[in-house]
Amino acid sequence: MSRDEQRWAHAGMLARRTFDAYSPEVLNPHDRELTRQAVELMAECLQGGPARRLAAGGRLGPKLGGPERVAAMFPQASNDSQVAAEFLATHGPGMQAQVLNSALHAGAVWDKPGADQVDFDARFVALSHVGRFVHDRPDGKCVPIACRVRRYAVWARDEMAAGWLEPMVTAKLNAQPE
Amino acid sequence: MTTGGWRVVLWDDPVNTAPTVAFVLHRVMGLPLGEAMGAPLQVERQQTVQIAWSADRFEAEVMAARMLVFGLHAGVAPA
């Protein structure tokens, strides 16, 4: 097996492991709706909105999101705290604006069949952040609804990435000499 | 001791899987497919991998910011 084939095999194995680990729960349509509502909430909070409950999470569900989650949206971009602070000051607002645009776009085309590349990128970016946006808490504990959003988002994003790469990987493997 | 310029680095994280990382590196960063597919293994082994280098700090930061927007744990470091 060539080095490239080993890479593809490894990537495929990881994707399969992810699918196996998440598919029983996340194929639930309720998790999909929770995630859609969480994307809407993320867009609201990026525009200054407060934390609130998700309608699909029930009246007794926890409040999610809020300004603290917006502030903690991106991980530290450098091991040097001064460089990281300068990075955030320079690029933070722009990155948040891109995530906001993606969340609004993804919400608008959530049920649209036959997504184009713009729709795809917006969904990918929104799913990349919504799990972390609702999930992390200062005490490190997991809110069940937030865990479900995160699992769905991670699974859906992996499926999208694997599906996007698959034709190119297949073409590359088929192009390799015997 | 630094040699000048800025490295754009990708750190290992517990959320992103190989296809996700490969997709972003190929689609967003423009890495060749083989290189993009190899990077997840490399970052898993070494915890961090250099994706690009730039003499200009702002340019390096813009590249890192694009990866951050697409959900990867990227950043910059002096070369």
Contact criterion met (CB < 8 Å) for A77 and B71: no
Give CA angle at B67 (B31, A48), nearest 5°. 160
Check residue A99 and give its pLDDT: 98
Task: Set out the domains of chain B in order of their start, with CATH numbers.
Answer: 6-78 (3.30.1390.10)
Q: How do the domains of chain A map onto residue ranges?
A: 1-36+92-178
DSSP B71: T
Check residue A122 and give its pLDDT: 96
Sign of CA dihedral A32, A37, A126, A138: negative
Query: Which comes out higher in pLDDT, residue B2 or A99?
Result: A99
Q: Considering only CB atoms, which chain B residues are within 8 Å of A75?
A: 13, 68, 73, 75
Distance from CA of B13 to the nearest CA of A (A): 10
The amino acid occupying position B5 is G
For range A151-176, the mean pLDDT: 88
Q: Are B75 and B19 in contact (CB under 8 A)?
A: no
Q: Considering only CB atoms, which chain A residues are within 8 Å of B58?
A: 90
Using DSSP's 3-state secondary structure scheme, residue A169 falls into helix
* Burial of A88 from C-beta contacts in 10 A (0-12 / 13-18 / 19+): middle
Lowest mean pLDDT among A123-132, A147-156, A168-177, B24-33: A168-177
Q: What percent of chain A has pLDDT over 70?
A: 80
Ordered per-residue pLDDT tens for chain B, 79 residues? 467 899 999 999 988 999 999 999 999 999 999 999 999 999 999 999 999 999 999 999 999 999 999 999 999 999 8
Check residue B14 and give its pLDDT: 86
CA nearest A51: which of A155, A109, A125, A137?
A137
ipTM of the complex: 0.93
Using DSSP's 3-state secondary structure scheme, residue B76 falls into strand
Check residue A8 and give its pLDDT: 54
Q: Considering only CB atoms, which chain B residues are within 8 Å of A167?
A: none
Q: Are A70 and A130 in contact (CB under 8 A)?
A: no
Distance CA A16, CA A102 (A): 27
Distance from CA of B62 to the nearest CA of A (A): 8
DSSP A49: P
Check residue A143 and give its pLDDT: 80
Residue of A nearest to B41 (CA): A7
**A165 → closest Cβ in B13, B23, B62:** B23
- Which candidate in A10, A14, A118 is best for mutational testing of the B interface (most B CBs within 10 A)? A14
Provide CB contacts within 8 A for A46, sequence distance 6+.
A70, A96, A99, A100, A103
For range A47-68, the mean pLDDT: 90
Check residue B18 and give its pLDDT: 92
Q: Is the backbone of residue A143 left (phi > 0), alpha (psi -120 to 50) or beta?
A: beta
Confidence grade of residue A176 (pLDDT, cut at 50, 70, 90):
low
User: Within 13 Å and on the Cβ side, how many CA atoms surround B5?
Assistant: 11
Q: What's the gap between Cα A52 and its chain centre?
A: 20
